[in-house]
Amino acid sequence: MKLTGNNFIGNEKSSVGNSTFKAVNPATGKKLDTSFIEAVPAEIDKSAQKAETAFKIYRNKSGQEKAVFLEAIADEISILGNNLIQRCMAETGLPEARITGERGRTMNQLKLFASVLREGSWLDARIDLAQPDREPLPKPDVRSIQIALGPVGIFGASNFPLAFSVAGGDSTSALAAGCTIVVKAHPAHPGTCELVANAIINAIQKTGMPDGTFSMVHGKSIDVGMAIVTNPLIKAIGFTGSFRGGKAIFDAASKRPSPIPVYAEMGSTNPVFILPGALKDKKKEIVNGLTASVTMGVGQFCTNPGLVFLANTDDTNSFKEVASQSFKESTSGTMLTSEIQKAYKNGIEKLASNIGVEVLATGKTNGEGLQGNPTILITSAEKYLTNSEFEKEIFGPSTLTVSAADKSELLKIAENLSGHLTTTIWANEDDLNYYSDLIGILERKAGRLIINGFPTGVEVCHSMIHGGPYPATTDSRTTSVGTTAINRFTRPVSYQNFPNKLLPNELKDENPLNILRLVDGEYKR
């Protein structure tokens, strides 16, 4: 399939603007073919208008119809075959196995949401039956359900060119909720975005969904994204990316004459606490797992463990030796973009320039181009607690090890943490008893707590929470991975004293969809 570089305004391809850009292969530094045309304001307005018109039809499609649509997107992505894999590899420098795995995850995610729609109970149907004879006042018939918010703007991240991009988790959960979407293509992988956009348009046409259910606009300047955020027809934003980008979009959405929710999933440093008993019992296993988790994907994961906290014991010095050796044996890899590589290099230099921070070890350079070299740094808890910059994400394969004098200093560090996507504890039975207060502290700091594991690798399932308090996200009450991500794009509505035939099927007396509902306080089908 030949790429066009066009924008997709609904099902229509559009190339009005004069400003163009090309994708760059990060492994070679060479520009790839195809000029992508930055969308102009009129095209973004038109995509929002089409999304609004389509929404009026799409929101009324049944769960079954929307499920067929999501599955059709998965099928169309599969049909793209090796074309998609090759273009994605060229634009990201990521290896074939990783892209193939991510494509599988993206397709499975679409199918998982389809199964949620077919089952139907996610809509949280509630029914309180009328009691006309109640004294002193009759009780009305009140029923509630979740309804879709309207057109949603979606921003994907560079490090997940499929699973957090055009047909990624944010798009899938918004479409599943019954929202139409306007996607900002990521300028680091615009060809991948175009291929997936074609797959979605094919699925729209094959399953009879309205023109405007999906639009996608290109842009290398922030103006394109901001035009989506400030368009009055857009009713929510799903964002995955950097703190800088997410916060700017959140602020812009809050300042609109009619503010809208922004679900921005941003960076995180994912603290790991290694408690003394576990360190003594499993030093080598922990170090090997830590090195693998920090260096996986050249550290370009939002769940990368960028902070490791230890309490000083007889084992701390040997931990440093083993970890140092492990990082020395690791190798560098190609990073996604020159900006990300520069930010990584600068971030490490800045951190290492602080008095009391030392580079413990770095990996071996492996090849040319935009290399990110694994780095482990070390400092004391005393030093760490004086500088809040130490907690910030350095996007890439690095981690800062912090040793605390004792339990109380370790707990102080935990209390001082801001919001993260994950926190991890390595502990044996004795540690869990002695540090019993740690879990309670960490529950307030992250969306996912892990014991004796590592945070990289996020399972897409019903109970996954990929979120957390600010600054990990702009709304700690939700998740961007897993099926409850759908709730970000709905709101509840009550229907009072409605005749049965006017109620949505999910709320009708006869329960035609046989979904689980809360009827007079009791869950039943």
Question: Does the annotation mark 265 as catalytic?
Answer: yes
Which residues in the 13-52 window bind ligand NAP by CB under 6 A? none
Choose between 277 and 455: whose C-beta lies nearer to ligand NAP.
455
Q: Which of 8, 69, 122, 155 binds ligand NAP (CB under 6 A)?
A: 155
Shortest Cβ distance from residue 221 to ligand NAP (Å)?
Answer: 6
Answer for which of 5, 93, 225, 397 binds ligand NAP (CB under 6 A) is 225
Given its phi and psi angles, is residue 69 left (phi above 0), alpha (psi -120 to 50 degrees) or beta?
alpha
Rounded to a whole number of angstroms, the distance between the first and last alpha carbons of the chain is 48
Between helix 316-329 and helix 276-295 the angle, nearest 10°, is 20
The answer to whether 125 and 517 have CB atoms below 8 angstroms apart is yes
* Annotation says 88 is catalytic: no
Among 178, 267, 374, 396, binds ligand NAP (CB under 6 A): 267
Using CB under 6 A as the binding rule, whether residue 186 contacts ligand NAP is answered as yes
How far apart are alpha carbons 490 and 112 in whole angstroms?
18
Give the integer Cα–Cα distance in Å for 343 and 345.
6
Select the span of 28-36, 47-55, 93-101, 181-189 touching ligand NAP (CB under 6 A). 181-189
Select 276 or 306, whichever has its Cβ closest to ligand NAP.
Answer: 306
Distances (CA, A) of 53 to 48, 183, 227, 233, 466: 9, 16, 19, 10, 32
Q: Is 395 in the site for ligand NAP (CB under 6 A)?
A: yes
**Cβ proximity to ligand NAP, 151 vs 276, nearer residue:** 151
CA distance 516 to 444: 31
Candidate segments 63-71, 118-126, 260-268, 367-375, binder of ligand NAP by CB under 6 A: 260-268
Residue 159 found at the interface with ligand NAP (CB under 6 A): yes
For 272-308, b/e burial (b = at least 16 CB within 10 A) is: bbbbbbbbbebbeebbebbbebbbbbbbbbbbbbbbb
Residue 249 is a binding residue for ligand NAP (CB under 6 A): yes
Mapping DSSP to helix (H, G, I), strand (E, B) and coil, where does residue 290 land? Answer: helix
The pair of structure tokens assigned to 259 is 């503010």
Which residue stretches of 334-458 are H helix?
Answer: 338-352, 381-384, 407-416, 429-434, 436-443
Contact 143, 125 (CB under 8 A): yes
Q: Is 248 in the site for ligand NAP (CB under 6 A)?
A: yes
- Interface with ligand NAP includes 241 (CB under 6 A)? yes
- Interaction residues for ligand NAP, span 449-488 (CB under 6 A): 466, 480
Q: Is 160 in the site for ligand NAP (CB under 6 A)?
A: yes
Helix, strand, coil % over all residues of the chain, rounded to 5:
40, 20, 40
Name the one range near ligand NAP by CB under 6 A: 222-230, 286-294, 313-321, 449-457.
Answer: 222-230
**Span near ligand NAP by CB under 6 A; candidates 183-191, 209-217, 309-317, 442-450:** 183-191
Piece in contact with ligand NAP (CB under 6 A), picked from 86-94, 114-122, 216-224, 324-332: 216-224
Residue of 71, 91, 302, 393 marked catalytic: 302
Going from the C-alpha of 405 to that of each of 278, 357, 400, 402, 411, the distances in angstroms are: 17, 16, 16, 10, 11
Query: Which range of residues in 218-226, 279-287, 359-367, 508-516 is near ligand NAP by CB under 6 A?
Result: 218-226
> Between 225 and 271, whose beta carbon lies closer to ligand NAP?
225
Least separation in angstroms between CB 96 and ligand NAP: 20
Q: Which of 168, 219, 276, 305 binds ligand NAP (CB under 6 A)?
A: 219
Q: Which is nearer to ligand NAP, 63 or 372 (CB)?
A: 372
Q: Which of 54, 302, 308, 381 is close enough to bind ligand NAP by CB under 6 A?
A: 302
- Output the smallest distance, CB 236 to ligand NAP, in A: 16
Q: Give Cβ neighbours of residue 83 (< 8 Å, ≥ 6 apart).
A: 1, 195
Residue 162 C-beta: closest distance to ligand NAP, Å: 12
For tokens 């067929």, the residue is 68
Which of 76, 91, 265, 409 is labelled catalytic? 265
**What is the distance between the alpha carbons of residues 96 and 118, in angstroms, rounded to a whole number?**
33
Q: How many CA atoms lie within 13 A of 410 on its CB side?
A: 26
> Where along the sequence are the contacts to ligand NAP (CB under 6 A)?
155, 157-160, 164, 184, 186-187, 219-220, 222, 225-226, 240-242, 244-245, 248-249, 265-267, 302, 340, 393, 395, 421, 466, 480
**Active-site residue set:** 265, 302
